[in-house]
Structure 1
Amino acid sequence: MDPGDGDFEAFVTARGPRLLRVAWLLTGDAHLAEDLLQSALAKVWPKWSRIAGEQPEAYVRKAMIHLHASWWRRRWRGELPYGELPDTAVHFDAYAKVDLEQSLATAVRSLPVRQRAVVVLRYFEDLSVEATAAALGCSTGTVKSQSSRALRALRGLLPAPVEGGDRRG
């Protein structure tokens, strides 16, 4: 065992939940998210002594994005089975928030890989344009154009806001 292993373990303990959320936003599946994070951490571990003093979270995020892109290129995107629909209607207000979150997650997963990565980093991870560009290894102009395209696509995929729902003045 390396002397830096304790540092790596502390990093994973402290930042693991946040990184797992990023992985879930990229994959849309809890089990795939765990696999993605674990694979990224396995790639980072041998280089830990070199990256620990820098920005290890950004390094792991970048590894996850690259791994996810390579998985996504190889993945079969055919039909997905769903369970049976319930026979009874459910009250809209009780599930409106959950439905919106599910719609958003589904819409984000339907974006091309690069746009999805930009949306996850910019709007879910709240990174700046510059930090997102650094994580993706591209220019800030690319981040801005991919963000614009992604938001336009999401607006077309998501239901229109309910009138009177926005109470900001």
Structure 2
Amino acid sequence: MNDASPTAAATRGRSRAGARERDFDEFYVAELPRLVALARGLCGPAHAEDVAQEAMLVAYRRWREVSSLERPEAWVRRTCSNLAVSTFRRRVVELRAVSRLGGRRTPETPAAELGAEAEEFWTAVRALPARQAQAAALRYVYDLPVAEIAHTLECTEGTVKQHLSRARHSLAAALHVEPGEEER
């Protein structure tokens, strides 16, 4: 059979598609737990799993493009952090609307219990401006260096340093600790 035949081309196409699916499966398994942690820090435990899954769904739908990026994990982290911030903002607006209308909201079941200190920290992170919260979450969930956070958020290293510095000072005030105690 000739390699230029339609059957050979179809077989090569199926094998490349299968390889792409395996690549995505490996990517998914490696990245999902950290995406859940990132989302949890940015939008809370009730929606973290959904936000992380949604980020992975976006990546899957665009996998051909995403997999060709130099660092697809940075792309999916950025997508997840943007979705988490949007989810958190939407929840705040919903809660304000419900409270104005005098309605009652049923409590949501938390994904898993965090210690009081950790929950207090992540609550303080969620109260930060969006970019500061994203930079802080990427730093504390992934332990990323400034350069990687800058790549993920598509901004300069100087901007990340500024966001982290402001976040640290705001968190120190909110958590009643001295600003230098938690510096890295």
Check whether TM > 0.5: yes
Tell me, yes or no, if structure 1 residue 141 matches structure 2 residue 154.
no
> How far apart are 1:157 and its partner, in Å?
0.5
Consecutive aligned runs of 4 or more in structure 1 exceeding 4 Å deviation:
79-83
Tell me, yes or no, if structure 1 residue 62 matches structure 2 residue 109.
no
Match among 19, 36, 41 for residue 25 of structure 1: 41
Contact 1:72 1:113 in 2 (8 A): no
The two structures have a TM-score, normalised by structure 2, of 0.69
Report sequence identity in percent: 36
Where does structure 2 lack aligned partners over 5 or more consecutive residues?
1-13, 108-113
Tell me, yes or no, if structure 1 residue 45 matches structure 2 residue 60.
yes
Give distance in 1, aligned partners of 2:39 and 2:61: 21
Root-mean-square deviation (CA, aligned residues, Å) is: 2.7
Where does structure 1 lack aligned partners over 5 or more consecutive residues?
84-96
Give distance in 1, aligned partners of 2:75 and 2:173: 33
1:35 corresponds in structure 2 to 50
Give distance in 1, aligned partners of 2:167 and 2:155: 16
1:5 corresponds in structure 2 to 21
Taking a change above 3 Å as real, the CA distance of residues 74 and 101 of structure 1, as seen in their structure-2 partners, is closer
Count of equivalent residues: 148
User: More deviation in 50-59 or 112-121?
Assistant: 50-59
Match among 108, 121, 135 for residue 118 of structure 1: 135
> How far apart are 1:67 and its partner, in Å?
2.0
